[in-house]
C-alpha cells in the first residue's frame, strides 16, 4: 500500500473536520447576508406587485398584513363607492377589491374579482373561477389537505378561527388553482357577493382595494389625495418595507460584524488543527527526510491529500450554503475561505521547510 493511500485511510476524519469548519465559517459569514437577501426579496416581491392598498382608517401595516398576507384582521370596511372612486381615478391602472373576515376551517376566505388571479400569477388547474355568490376555488394542495374536490360543499365561519360563528349559506368548490405565494396557497377565493349574502349586508362593502398605478411617481402624488378623503387609509407596501428595512439594517450590520469575529475564531481553530496535524506526522517526515526526500515531495506525500480535502471541503461548504440559503457567496467570502486554506497550507510548508 502506497504512503498516499495510507494517508487517506488515516485522515478520513480530516475531511469531516475541514468540511465542518468551512461550513461553520461560511454559515456565520453568510447568515446576515441571507437574512438581508430574504428581507429584500420579500420586499421586492410585495412592493413590485402592489403600489397602494386603500383600506379603512387605521394602521397601514395592518392593512398590508391583512390584505397581502392575511396575518392580521382588516382595519374595517370601506363602501363600494370607495372602490369605484379609485377604480376610475386617472392615476390608477388596475383596482382589485378585497373582502376579508371569514374563514373555512381556519383558512381565510378572500372575496375578490377575476383581476386578482392574473395579478398574482394564479392559474386555474381544473373547473372555473367563481362567478356567483357561494362559489369558491382553492389551491390544489389545500384541496388535498381539506379532502375536497370540485362539487364539494364547505361552510364558512366568522373571523379567522374555525370555531367562529358559522354562516348558514353553504359554499361550493368550483375550481382548483395553482397559486404561487404561500398566502394564496392557504386561502380560499370567492366573489365579494358571497360576503354580502352570508352577512346579510344591505350595503355593498369591501375591506380594502389593491391598486396598481399608472406610474411609480404617482405613489408620491396620491398621499395628498388620500389625506383629503375621510375614513380612508393608504398603505404603500414599498414605503412600509422601506421603513422596516431601516429598522432592520442596524441589526443586520451588527450581526455582520459579529459573524466576522466568529469566523476569525473558527479560522484560528482551523490553523491550530493544522499545526497539531503536522506534529502528529513528525515521524513520517523524519523517515522521508532520511530517504533523501525533498520538501516538495514530502509535502505532496504527507499533506497532498490534505490539500485535496481542504479544497473539497471548501467546495462542499459553498454548495451546502448555496443549497440551504440560496444565495451565492460573494467575492469577500470566497477570499476569506481561500485565505484560510492558503494560510493553513502555507503554515505546513514553512514548518516542513524548517524541519
Partner 1 sequence: MTNWASVILMATSLHVSAWGQKVVSWDLLAVPYSTTSEGLYAPQFPSWLDRYKNQEVVLQGYLVPVDVATKQYALSRYAFSSCFFCGNAAPNTVVELVFKDQPDHLVTDQFVVIKGILILNDNDPYRLFFIIQQAEFYG
All residues at 6 or more sequence positions from 37 whose CB lies less than 8 Å from its CB, including other chains: 325, 326, 327
Taking each helix axis from N to C terminus, what angle separates 3-10 and 12-49, rounded to the nearest 10 degrees? 60
Number of helical (H) and strand (E) elements in the chain, helices listed first: 13, 12
What backbone phi and psi angles, to 5 degrees, belong to 74? -65, 160
CA distances from 170 to 98, 135, 140, 206 (A): 20, 9, 20, 21
Q: Which is nearer to partner 1, 140 or 225 (CB)?
A: 225
Residue 88 CB, nearest distance to partner 1 (Å)? Answer: 9
Closest among 138, 100, 97 to 114, alpha carbons compared: 97
Residue 321 CB, nearest distance to partner 1 (Å)? Answer: 21
Residue 14 CB, nearest distance to partner 1 (Å)? Answer: 39
Residue numbers of the site for partner 1 (CB under 8 A)?
Answer: 40, 43-44, 47-48, 60, 89-91, 214-221, 223-225, 227, 236, 238-239, 241-243, 245-246, 249
Residue 273's Cβ-side half-sphere holds a number of Cα atoms within 13 Å equal to 20
Q: Which is nearer to partner 1, 194 or 233 (CB)?
A: 233
Residue 90 CB, nearest distance to partner 1 (Å)? Answer: 5
Residue 229 CB, nearest distance to partner 1 (Å)? Answer: 11
Residues paired with residue 126 on neighbouring β-strands, in sequence order: 176
Helix then strand then coil, % of the chain, to nearest 5: 60, 20, 25
Q: Which is nearer to partner 1, 80 or 238 (CB)?
A: 238
Residue 224 CB, nearest distance to partner 1 (Å)? Answer: 6
Q: Which is nearer to partner 1, 93 or 144 (CB)?
A: 93
Q: Which is nearer to partner 1, 163 or 214 (CB)?
A: 214
Q: Which is nearer to partner 1, 75 or 160 (CB)?
A: 75
Characterize 114-123 residue by residue with b for buried, 16 or more Cβ atoms within 10 angstroms of its Cβ, and e for exposed. Answer: eebbeebebe
Amino acid at each position: 500500500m502506497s504512503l498516499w493511500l495510507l494517508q487517506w485511510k488515516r485522515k478520513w476524519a480530516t475531511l469531516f473536520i475541514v468540511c465542518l469548519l468551512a461550513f461553520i465559517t461560511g454559515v456565520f459569514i453568510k447568515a446576515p447576508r441571507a437574512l438581508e437577501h430574504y428581507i429584500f426579496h420579500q420586499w421586492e416581491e410585495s412592493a413590485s406587485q402592489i403600489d397602494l392598498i386603500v383600506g379603512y382608517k387605521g394602521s397601514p401595516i395592518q392593512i398590508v398584513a391583512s390584505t397581502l398576507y392575511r396575518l392580521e384582521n382588516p382595519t374595517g370596511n370601506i363602501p363600494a363607492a370607495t372602490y369605484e372612486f379609485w377604480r376610475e381615478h386617472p392615476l390608477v391602472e388596475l383596482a382589485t377589491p378585497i373582502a376579508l373576515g371569514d374563514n373555512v376551517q381556519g383558512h381565510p376566505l378572500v372575496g375578490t374579482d377575476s383581476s386578482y388571479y392574473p395579478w398574482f400569477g394564479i392559474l386555474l388547474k381544473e373547473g372555473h373561477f367563481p362567478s356567483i355568490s357561494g362559489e369558491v376555488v382553492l389551491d390544489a394542495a389545500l384541496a388535498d389537505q381539506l379532502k375536497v374536490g370540485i362539487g364539494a360543499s364547505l361552510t364558512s365561519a366568522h373571523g379567522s378561527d374555525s370555531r367562529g360563528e358559522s354562516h348558514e349559506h353553504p359554499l361550493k368548490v368550483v375550481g382548483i388553482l395553482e397559486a404561487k405565494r404561500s398566502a394564496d396557497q392557504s386561502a380560499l377565493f370567492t366573489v365579494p357577493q358571497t360576503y354580502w349574502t352570508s352577512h346579510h349586508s344591505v350595503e355593498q362593502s369591501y375591506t380594502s382595494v389593491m391598486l396598481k398605478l399608472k406610474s411609480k411617481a404617482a405613489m408620491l402624488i396620491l398621499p395628498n389625495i388620500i389625506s383629503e378623503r375621510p375614513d380612508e387609509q393608504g398603505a404603500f407596501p414599498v414605503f412600509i418595507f422601506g421603513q422596516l428595512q431601516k429598522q432592520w439594517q442596524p441589526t443586520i450590520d451588527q450581526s455582520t460584524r459579529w459573524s466576522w469575529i466568529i469566523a476569525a475564531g473558527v479560522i484560528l481553530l482551523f490553523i491550530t488543527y493544522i499545526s497539531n496535524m503536522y506534529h502528529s506526522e513528525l515521524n513520517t517526515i523524519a523517515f522521508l527526510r532520511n530517504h533523501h526526500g525533498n520538501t516538495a515531495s514530502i509535502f505532496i506525500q504527507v499533506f497532498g491529500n490534505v490539500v485535496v480535502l481542504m479544497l473539497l471541503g471548501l467546495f462542499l461548504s459553498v454548495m451546502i450554503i448555496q443549497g440551504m440559503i440560496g444565495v451565492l457567496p460573494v467575492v469577500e467570502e470566497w477570499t476569506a475561505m481561500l485565505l484560510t486554506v492558503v494560510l493553513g497550507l502555507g503554515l505546513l510548508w514553512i514548518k516542513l521547510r524548517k524541519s
